[in-house]
Amino acid sequence: MSNKDWIKDLKVGDKVIIATNNYSNQITSVVKITPKGFINTQNGKQFYPNGSQVGGDSRDFYLLQLTDELLIEFKKNGLVRKCKEIDFSKLEIEQLEQILLIVNKLG
């Protein structure tokens, strides 16, 4: 299915992913579709009927269909980012031991 195929079926309230070339993707909702087919999203961005952003900056925002696979990837990337922010030196020894038990089961 091409990008235009799923976009033509969008409705107000549908969830979409706004993707960028630097992978700072976000999930948002469609709030309006104009008579000319422009798509307005909850975060204030507007997109052409082909999914590319109207105006904008050099980060090249574009719409992606929110599939189950992309939702899982989106959530996983968010969890990985949060894990990278953990200051392990502030955890209790018991917490560190529990984390190591989980990690050791992986490999």
pLDDT single digits (tens) 46-65: 999 988 889 866 567 889 88
Of residues 56 and 7, more confidently modeled: 7
- Determine the residue type at 56: G
pLDDT per residue over 75-107, tens digit each? 998 899 899 999 999 999 999 999 999 989 887
Please state the rounded mean pLDDT for residues 3-11.
80
Taking the CA atoms of the chain, what radius of gyration do you get in angstroms? 19
Using alpha carbons, list the distances in angstroms from residue 90 to 87, 94, 99, 103.
Answer: 6, 12, 13, 18
pTM for the structure as a whole: 0.71
Question: Could you give the strand order of the β-sheet that contains 39-41, starting from the edge strand earlier in sequence?
Answer: 46-47, 39-41, 26-33, 15-19, 62-65
At 1 the pLDDT is 46
DSSP state, residue 37: -
Q: Which residues make Cβ contacts (< 8 Å) with residue 29, sequence separation at least 6?
A: 13, 14, 15, 16, 41, 42
